[in-house]
Structure 1
Amino acid sequence: MTITQPAGVIPPLCTPLTPDGEVDVPSLLRLVDHLAAAGVHGLFVLGSTSEAAYLTDAQRRLVVESVVRHAGGQLPVLAGAIDMTTPRVRDHVAAVTAAGADAVVVTAPFYARTHPAEIARHYRAVAAASPVPVVAYDIPVAVHTKLPGDVVLELAADGVLAGLKDSSGDLAAFRQVVTGVRDHQGITGFSVLTGSELIADAALAIGADGVVPGLGNVDPHGYVRLDRLCRAGDAEGARAEQERLCALFGLVSVGDPARMGPGSSAIGAFKAALHLRGVIDCPLTAEPQVPLSPDEVERVGKYLAAAGLL
């Protein structure tokens, strides 16, 4: 499909795996159905929640092909094209667009330290090679660079970027971009999306176009309700729904920090929740992430029960 301005609830899909670590396509397609039935507005594959950094190139392509084919043009599919350098990102852009992605989501370069001017060159080069819109992905915890707001706005004004997915956690910087887009007469059709599960209502209130919540895999209906309440101007209803989702988000902390990192805990919890809800067959996370223990999975179930999801 031809993507218009990305907006609404666009969950970053988990990538279900088989016990031997391959992509579990039937479970992946059930996840797509689970999200579509909740009324989400788009699908984001090959992001952080998708464990894209752990997947082989062949697995990445399989994920995009499978989701695009199953979505059947009913929902736009955004695909991460995430790698360390511009040439490698261009290769990923070619692969995911050949597989049918409607837009690509691209981080700043990483591993080598970069300057804002180099980040801008990176996006210009990627966009010049991309047949679909390019959305910038601001995730400093992973790439160790915060996308400067002035660079994002410059690239938006020049038509290089079609949007921003902000997972920085910096609401003030996010507001700077939202305000800059609104006040700049030369910027049109640019989407500002938050990746935060916890301040989605605040982001929407200051003018965000949509949300990309990892927890949306587990409770897509909740985020669709939240989006609807915010757009209807029901601040009290939105606050209550956001607080319910904040409580549910506590499941990401079930993993013991003495034996696993926060990524293993969060993605493991999302997958455990999807398994407990009957959406995916296996809650395995990609190596070398540490799996949740049976006791930790049981705690995930308690969060689901408290949220009315079991």
Structure 2
Amino acid sequence: MTLPALLTGVIPPVCTPLTPDNEVDTASLRRLVDHLVDGGVTGLFVLGSTSEAAYLPDRHRETVVRTVVRHVAGQLPVLAGAIDMTTPRVLDHVRTAGAAGADGVVVTAPFYARTHPAEIARHYRLVAEHGGLPVFAYDIPVSVHTKLDADLVLDLAAEGVLAGLKDSSGDDGGLRRVLLGARARPDVSGFSVLTGSETTVDAALAMGADGVVPGLGNVDPHGYVRLYRHCRAGDWDLARAEQERLCALFRMVDVGAAERMGRGSSGIGAFKAALHLRGVIGCAVTAPPQVPLTAGEVERVGKHLAAAGLL
């Protein structure tokens, strides 16, 4: 389907279910998509951080996009992460995503080599010019070690280079600067600003964000849809209560022992364990070299689900 003029609502970054031998579990992926659609989400983002895109070989990335696009069959827009180190490599991913039927792509700044703002701007302009799909900037400095400058983002939006921003920077002040700048500039229109923070959605929407891309939305899409609807209706007490319930649920990302694994292993492992416990995916395995959760840690995930009314 064609992207709406302004992408809004709940657009979860879809987990990538894997088999025990690290192939894409397409049957589980289709069940997960059904779970998200049933939850009322407004779009899907595949091949992001929560999707373990950095761990997937190119053939797995293509399988994920094709599987989701075919299964959704035009019900919802599908964004695909085209995340790689340099412009030529990103363009390869964009072309693959376009051929698979994605409606737009999500692109970080270049990384590995240090980049200048002029190189970042050139990167996005070249991807937009040669990729043939709407481009959403992905601001995730913890992974690419570059914080996207608000004025640069707004200038690229005014040029028509960027269709939107997924802000996973954790910088609420920077997010507000983008929102205020977009509101103040008559040359910026149809530009979607989406927060990637699961725990401050109500605050971001109150500031004027258009939607949310929550990793925890894989586990509880209904909760994020309720939260979004409460905010849009101006029911801020209900929104705060729902946000606080989701904050408590989000604590599952810390079940993994810090001396044994990184936060990514713990967080993605917890999301997948929760989806497995809820009967959505067939296996909770994560891609190597991530460290798997222990049985006791999975049991703690189950307690978080039960406390949230999801088991």
**2: CA distance, partners of 1:183 / 1:223:** 29
Does residue 281 in structure 1 map to residue 285 in structure 2? no
Q: CA deviation at 1:237?
A: 0.5
Give TM-score scaled by structure 2 length: 0.99
Does residue 105 in structure 1 map to residue 103 in structure 2? no
**1: CA distance, partners of 2:138 / 2:226:** 25
- 1:39 partner letter: G
Map Cα deviations across residues 25-57 of structure 1 (whole Å, 9 max, x no partner).
Answer: 000000000000010000000000000000010
Map Cα deviations across residues 144-188 of structure 1 (whole Å, 9 max, x no partner).
Answer: 000000100000011100000000000000000011111110111
In structure 1, the residue matched to 2:21 is: 20
**2: CA distance, partners of 1:130 / 1:214:** 26
SS at match of 1:258: coil
Root-mean-square deviation (CA, aligned residues, Å) is 0.4
Map Cα deviations across residues 121-160 of structure 1 (whole Å, 9 max, x no partner).
Answer: 1000110012210000000000000000010000001110
In structure 2, the residue matched to 1:54 is: 55
- The 5-angstrom pairing of residues 152-191 of structure 1 reads 152-191=153-192
Which structure 1 residue ranges, 5 or more long, are not aligned?
A: none
Q: CA deviation at 1:117?
A: 1.0
- 1:170 partner letter: D
**1: CA distance, partners of 2:160 / 2:20:** 44
Q: CA deviation at 1:6?
A: 1.4
Which consecutive segments of 4 or more residues in structure 1 shift more than 2 A?
A: none
SS at match of 2:165: strand
Does residue 137 in structure 1 map to residue 138 in structure 2? yes
In structure 1, the residue matched to 2:293 is: 292
Sequence identity of aligned pairs in percent?
Answer: 74
SS at match of 2:304: helix
In structure 1, the residue matched to 2:212 is: 211
Map Cα deviations across residues 262-299 of structure 1 (whole Å, 9 max, x no partner).
Answer: 00000000000000000000000000100000000000
**1: CA distance, partners of 2:260 / 2:241:** 34
**2: CA distance, partners of 1:135 / 1:228:** 23
Does residue 78 in structure 1 map to residue 83 in structure 2? no
In structure 2, the residue matched to 1:3 is: 3
SS at match of 1:12: coil
Which structure 2 residue ranges, 5 or more long, are not aligned?
A: none
- 2:214 partner letter: P
- 2:258 partner letter: P
In structure 1, the residue matched to 2:234 is: 233
SS at match of 1:279: coil
**2: CA distance, partners of 1:52 / 1:207:** 29
**2: CA distance, partners of 1:221 / 1:178:** 26
Map Cα deviations across residues 201-220 of structure 1 (whole Å, 9 max, x no partner).
Answer: 00000100000000000000
SS at match of 1:78: strand
Map Cα deviations across residues 65-88 of structure 1 (whole Å, 9 max, x no partner).
Answer: 000000000000000000000010
SS at match of 2:107: strand
In structure 2, the residue matched to 1:151 is: 152
SS at match of 1:193: strand
**2: CA distance, partners of 1:130 / 1:163:** 16
